[in-house]
Amino acid sequence: MTEIRNIAERALWTAAQAFLAAFVVTDMTTAKGAALAGLAAGLSVVKTFVQSKAHR
């Protein structure tokens, strides 16, 4: 359960960071910022999961 929580927490923080970065760099009238945040969060989940499996 701790592993899942860790992955979810990282994904949420990555999404927040990506959203803020997109907000500063682009205009948020489009869905580009939300897509960027979602993509970054998804990549973070995949990376963290693979990393946790590789270090066992």
pTM: 0.57
| Amino acid identity, position 38 | G
User: What percent of the chain shows pLDDT beyond 90?
Assistant: 0
The residue with tokens 């682009």 is 26
- Quickly count: other Cβ atoms within 10 Å of residue 14's Cβ: 21
Measuring CA to CA, which residue among 42, 55, 39 is closest to residue 8? 42
Q: How many CB atoms lie within 10 A of CB 11?
A: 20
Instruction: Return d(Cα 12, Cα 53) in angstroms, integer.
Output: 20
* Predicted local distance difference test score (pLDDT) of residue 29: 65
Tens digits of residue pLDDT in 20-46 = 777 777 776 666 767 777 787 778 778
Q: What is the pLDDT of residue 1?
A: 62
Q: What percent of the chain stands above pLDDT 70?
A: 86
**Do you know the residue count of the chain?**
56
